Structure 1
Amino acid sequence: MTDPVPAGDAPSSTGVDPVLRWRAAADRVCDLVLAVAAETPALLEQHVPACPDWTARDLLSHMVGLATDVLDGDEPDDHNPGWTDRQVAQRRSRDVTELVAEWRAHADDLVAWMREHGSRPLNDVVIHEQDLRGALARPGARDTPELGVVRERMADRFAGKVADLPPIALVGPGWTWASAGSAEDAPTRLEADDFDLARALSSRRTEAQLRSWTVRGDVGPYLPALAGLGDLPATPLPE
């Protein structure tokens, strides 16, 4: 699956500070991988179902490398595979402790950079935290303010891609959204858990899952837009 393309720095409608939430998410990922490295280090060499070309340590290398590259002014608009793979290759010999140390050493500078340029690095860490958690069988952080911010950003991005289609509604227990107009009036309606809808907007749910959530209309025409961050997985991710 391809790496997320950076989305615009949309302000949070709930008043959440996305820059501070980036720090919270990054700290949580650091704590997670250090705990796994201390307890079951072999897990970090397993491949990540959401990013099957990478192991968990490789994915961490990308997350760290993104921060370093952004600060160096090296961030292509498309986050292309050559750019992300280089981040991994450059850190192939580093262990988790070294990777975490690099990330933490750059955290303050990246926070300052985001204050000036926008908080799109939040999208990457939130999406990939869940990719890591699925690979490591360590679920968590499914209802955080930062996940809510990224879900809204991905929904706005999705809306732009389906603007020529009839409205579609995504409806969860606590979060409801429509690409246009009212969710009640949308001719196509999907109902699922709030977390699943966030992951669907990040191209992390299968076509079969999306179709199973469709309680009205046909999700088929919207599938290309839901695959905006890479091909939809062929089988459900272990989350």
Structure 2
Amino acid sequence: MNDTVRPESAAGTESATQLYDASTARIAALVRDADPSTPVDACPGWTVEQLVAHLAGGLGDFLARRFDLAPGDDFGERTVRERRGQAVAESLAEWERHRAEAGDLLASPMGGVLVAEVVSHEQDLRTALGRPGARTDPGVRVGLTRPLEQIDQRLRESGGPAVRLMIDDEKEHRTIGEGEPVATLRVSAYDLLRTIGGRRTHDQARALDWDGDAEAALDSLTLFGSFRDTPLRGE
């Protein structure tokens, strides 16, 4: 069975809006007293200050539908570059202003994309600051929805190997890709989110609970096409 879980059903009674706001509040609490120059190894080249600037600027660009890029530019890098030197408090204030205008956006299908972004970066910050937490938050499961849809589409278009997933306590599996799965992965939502987001090494992904041809399946599991070279501290 290949089932697509919408954010609302995966989160129980919590909407994408509530999950986004909860993660935002946790991030604000994490960074207010943190050293803004702390490197965020999950986002190479960025500090805590720059990652918060990206979250603020990213939501602003989503609101403005500002997705066009100059040749060779990068969406994330642009948000940081445009806020060079902006203090964490200023970025939090900007983020709050954008959030006040984002109700309709969060209530739309785009809400799941924004939840994936914020919960992934929350975990990046937690890893950088040595403050683990919120790994079983419903937002983590919702954060899987859009990335898994993207991976599934890519595999179907490319003819890549299908993978069967058993996530947390789900009674029914889901399959990404088309055809008979080459392997089955039993995994927590948190571990899967970090793996498909490129926050794990190949060896870490291989060490998950696999049945079948894990090696053939591993390349199916990264949204951006590659694993890390070295493990993140705390992962």
If the TM-score is normalised by the length of the shorter chain, which range does it land in? 0.7 to 0.9
The TM-score, its normalising length taken from structure 2, stands at 0.81
The TM-score, its normalising length taken from structure 1, stands at 0.80
Change (3 A) 1:10 1:29: same
Bigger mean CA deviation after superposition, 130-139 or 81-90:
81-90
Deviation of residue 155 (structure 1)?
Answer: 2.5
Q: Distance in 1 between matches of 2:189 and 2:105?
A: 31
Q: Distance in 1 between matches of 2:152 and 2:146?
A: 10
State the percentage of identical aligned residues. Answer: 30
Q: Distance in 2 between matches of 1:70 and 1:105?
A: 13
Bigger mean CA deviation after superposition, 146-155 or 56-65:
146-155
Deviation of residue 10 (structure 1)?
Answer: 4.2
Deviation of residue 150 (structure 1)?
Answer: 1.1
Deviation of residue 116 (structure 1)?
Answer: 4.8
Per the alignment, residue 82 of structure 2 pairs with 90
Show structure 1 runs of 5+ residues with no match: 1-7
1:136 counterpart = 2:129: yes
Bigger mean CA deviation after superposition, 228-237 or 93-102:
228-237
Q: Distance in 1 between matches of 2:212 and 2:161?
A: 10
Show structure 2 runs of 5+ residues with no match: none
**Any conservation in 1 of the 2:32–2:88 contact (CA below 8 Å)?**
yes
Deviation of residue 109 (structure 1)?
Answer: 0.5
Q: Distance in 2 between matches of 1:116 and 1:158?
A: 21
Per the alignment, residue 199 of structure 1 pairs with 194
User: Which of residues 213, 216, 227 in structure 1 aligns to 2:222?
Assistant: 227
**Any conservation in 2 of the 1:167–1:178 contact (CA below 8 Å)?**
no
Per the alignment, residue 174 of structure 1 pairs with 169
Per the alignment, residue 61 of structure 1 pairs with 53
Change (3 A) 1:224 1:173: closer
User: Which of residues 210, 213, 216 in structure 1 aligns to 2:208?
Assistant: 213
Per the alignment, residue 31 of structure 1 pairs with 29
Q: Distance in 1 between matches of 2:231 and 2:199?
A: 8
> 1:34-45 counterparts in 2 under 5 A?
34-36=32-34, 41=35, 44-45=36-37
Structure 1 letter corresponding to 2:124: D
> 1:95-174 counterparts in 2 under 5 A?
95-116=87-108, 118-119=110-111, 120-163=113-156, 164-174=159-169
Q: Distance in 1 between matches of 2:104 and 2:61?
A: 15
1:236 counterpart = 2:228: no
Per the alignment, residue 12 of structure 1 pairs with 8
Per the alignment, residue 72 of structure 1 pairs with 64
Deviation of residue 153 (structure 1)?
Answer: 2.9
Identify which of structures 1 and 2 has the higher relative contact order when contacts are C-alpha pairs closer than 8 Å and 6+ apart.
Answer: 1
**Any conservation in 2 of the 1:172–1:194 contact (CA below 8 Å)?**
yes
Q: Distance in 1 between matches of 2:151 and 2:161?
A: 13
Bigger mean CA deviation after superposition, 141-150 or 219-228:
219-228
Number of aligned residues: 221
